[in-house]
Copies of this chain bind each other. A is one copy, B any other.
Amino acid sequence: MNLFFDHSINKNTKTVNFSFEESKHIKSFRMKSKELVTVTNGKGLEWIGELETINKNNPIANKISSKVHNDMISKIEIAIAPTKKIDRIEWFLEKSTEIGIKKIHFIQTKNSIRKKINKERLEKIIISSMKQSKQFHKPIIYDIISFNDFIILNNNTQKFIAHCQNTHKTDLAKNLINNNPCTIMIGPEGDFTRKEVDFATLNGFNPVGLGKNRLRTETAALVAIQTVHTLLTI
């Protein structure tokens, strides 16, 4: 089945009028009238409808059934400093959505080079990846927030800051407990500063490493996510 997206629908919606974007996809899949179509709102909804006679510019589907799936399995939150080249963050969003992530925070750190993100564009990448990997929950992304504000506001059960400095830290894999929600902070190209690591540690973040190799920002974030997923599987 091909999955479509409409943020405005709920389980009681009778008719879906596809957006311009989604209409293009219906056309490219060469879908015909009477064909079944699955639509999600990214909040767990699996809405199945039948396509009406397809008006090329405005396809419509009428409801057959709907079902709401429980909370997404992944309870991972990543706080990441946007990379200098935004395509690396875009790649990270596509991949982390496929693998499974709950929330993505962008943080402004001392060594951050990029100060802005185009949230609308990033949102589109997430929606596309969610549809491609057939998930009914869309990860949530937030606007950039300062490092200090993030530290103070995040109150997850397990909190980690991954960094490359030669101070005391242990492997992320050795620190995770069960399926508790967790937040993992990933630094910019120039890493977090010592002061930032200290401030995070003072505020309940556990300093961790992600293996022996020096990883790029977006690779580190993905490694962190898959580390959590692996530990939940075994």
Query: Nearest chain-B residue to A226 (Cβ)?
Result: B226
A223 within 8 A of B: yes
Query: Nearest chain-B residue to A225 (Cβ)?
Result: B226
Contact with B along A121-143 (1 / 0, CB 8 A): 00000000000111100000000
Number of copies: 2
A231 within 8 A of B: yes
Asked if A233 and B91 sit within 8 Å, CB to CB, the answer is no
Give residues 76-99 of A contacting B (CB, 8 Å).
91, 95, 98-99
A180 to chain B, nearest CB (A): 16
Asked if B174 and A234 sit within 8 Å, CB to CB, the answer is yes
Distance in angstroms between the alpha carbons of A227 and B233 in the assembled complex? 10
Given contacts A222-B222, A226-B227, A227-B230, contact A213 B173 (CB under 8 A): no
Asked if A215 and B133 sit within 8 Å, CB to CB, the answer is yes
Asked if B214 and A134 sit within 8 Å, CB to CB, the answer is yes
Distance in angstroms between the alpha carbons of A95 and B216 in the assembled complex? 9
Chain B positions within 8 Å of A100 at CB level: 211-213
Chain B positions within 8 Å of A95 at CB level: 219, 222
**Which of A214, A216, A233 has the most chain B CB atoms inside 10 A of its CB?**
A233
Contact with B along A148-178 (1 / 0, CB 8 A): 0000000000000000000000010110000
Distance in angstroms between the alpha carbons of A91 and B211 in the assembled complex? 20
A68 within 8 A of B: no
Asked if B174 and A213 sit within 8 Å, CB to CB, the answer is no
Give residues 89-121 of A contacting B (CB, 8 Å).
91, 95, 98-100
**Which of A100, A214, A223 has the most chain B CB atoms inside 10 A of its CB?**
A223
Chain B positions within 8 Å of A212 at CB level: 73, 100
Q: Which residues of A contact B (CB under 8 A)?
A: 73, 91, 95, 98-100, 132-135, 171, 173-174, 211-216, 219, 222-223, 226-227, 229-231, 233-234
